[in-house]
Amino acid sequence: MDSELQKIETDLERMSPGSMPEGMIRRMEEAMEGWQEVPEQDEIEKVVPFPQEERSDRGETRSGWSLWAAAASVALLGGVAAMVLTVEPTPRKVVERGGSSAGDSTATMINPEALHTIELAPKTAKRTILDASDRDVIIPNGSRPMRLMRIDLVDRVVFLSPDGEEVHLEVPSVNYQLIPVPTD
Amino acid sequence: MRNSGTYAMKEKSSRWREWLSEHGSKLLLFARQQTRRQEDAEDILQEALVKLARKVDEGIFVGGQEAWMPFLYTQIRREAIDLGRRNDRRKKREDTVVEDEQCQSGGEDAWFESAGYDEERRSLLEAALKELPGKFSDVIVMKIWGGRTFAQIGDILEISMNTAASRYRYGIEALRKRLSGARIRGDL
């Protein structure tokens, strides 16, 4: 530290903090003596809201856990997922009442009879952490500080159709975790 | 028996009083630095002291009397954070009122005694210290007037010792720049 900085440090050291007035010492002393009369605030449960400012920024799926749970349950429990697919969807003409079957009044619809189920076997399931960031340190009243971590994840599940085709399912999600911070 | 109880209370009372007389001003300065209002500073200091007394009297305080100050610095900081969260909305409204009151009363809320020191320089240094970002003034207040080591400050602020030392140096450097500016403007 150069001499000019040391001079400022010396100047600061020469300044004395304002003394505690006698009345304040007495008040503090009385409060310390009467701690039994003060309710313990440490027991008050704190609700810490998660950060919300980025909710609309990234447009991420916040309910990714339910989707992942659905995908995982398919993979783990049965090993078979039933999915509804169409094979050559057949257009059906919809004729307006009292109208003609001209091209303007037709709409393409899925023919329910053309739908059938196929079985997809899960091939692989993998969870990848895309990003982990330190959001904040939360100190519940009187208790241990906790670090709020945001973890961006993506779950990738690959299914195999009977024809041998792979169907890839990707589910992004965001997870928040509280991690105790070491203190003295 | 009652007399001995009263005597014990007086003994304890005098112990707190003596200790408060010696250390209270340092803690009050830190509490003032953590809050914007004198009343809030007194409140959080009192909360912290009550927590200390509770732990000491219940025999659950870890460490001896030398550990009281680090505990209180940590506790004051937590109380200040909690107060800020509790009063977030109210504070904004009241700050406006306080600022108005301070404008009317000349904004005098001195952290330091002026006796025996160049009043003009003290005033400038104090103003510069108040304007510093909290992360720098936290460290400076605890280091210079609290007598804490960088390791202790790091523990209190939950940062590394090196970060505490860096913040201290940056803070002093920032004060130097502000004083240089004052010198150029002719305030010094």
Beta strand segments in B24-158, E = 112-113
Split into its structural domains, chain A has a count of 1
Structure tokens at B10: 């007086």
**pLDDT over 80 (residue B176):** yes
Q: What is the predicted ipTM? A: 0.76
How many Cβ contacts (< 8 angstroms) between chains A and B? Answer: 116
Spell out which residues of chain B touch residue A24, defining contact as CB-CB under 8 Å: 24, 28, 42
Name the band, by pLDDT with cuts 50, 70 and 90, for residue B92.
low
Determine, yes or no, domain membership for A107: yes
Is A63 inside a domain boundary? yes
Q: What is the pLDDT at residue A84?
A: 45
B41 touches chain A (CB under 8 A): no
Chain A residue with the nearest C-alpha to that of B31: A17
Q: Is residue A175 part of a domain?
A: yes
**Nearest CB partner across the interface for A35, out of B20, B26, B54:** B54
Q: Give CA–CA dist B176/B153, Å, rounded.
A: 22
Q: Which pTM value belongs to this model?
A: 0.54
The pLDDT profile of chain A, 184 residues, written as one tens digit per residue, is 678 888 888 888 888 888 888 889 999 988 888 887 776 655 444 445 455 444 444 444 444 455 556 566 555 545 544 454 444 444 444 444 444 444 444 555 667 667 767 778 888 888 888 888 887 788 777 677 888 888 999 999 888 887 888 888 889 999 888 888 876 5
CATH architecture of residue range(s) B111-188: Orthogonal Bundle (1.10)
* A117, part of any domain: yes
Chain B residues near residue A51 by CB distance under 8 angstroms? none
Cβ <8 Å between A139 and B17: no
Of A9, A16, A25, the CB nearest to B113: A16
Please state, in angstroms and rounded to a whole number, the distance separating the CA atoms of residues B39 and B109: 11
Q: pLDDT at residue B90 above 50?
A: yes
Fold held by B1-109: Rna Polymerase Sigma Factor; Chain: A (1.10.1740)
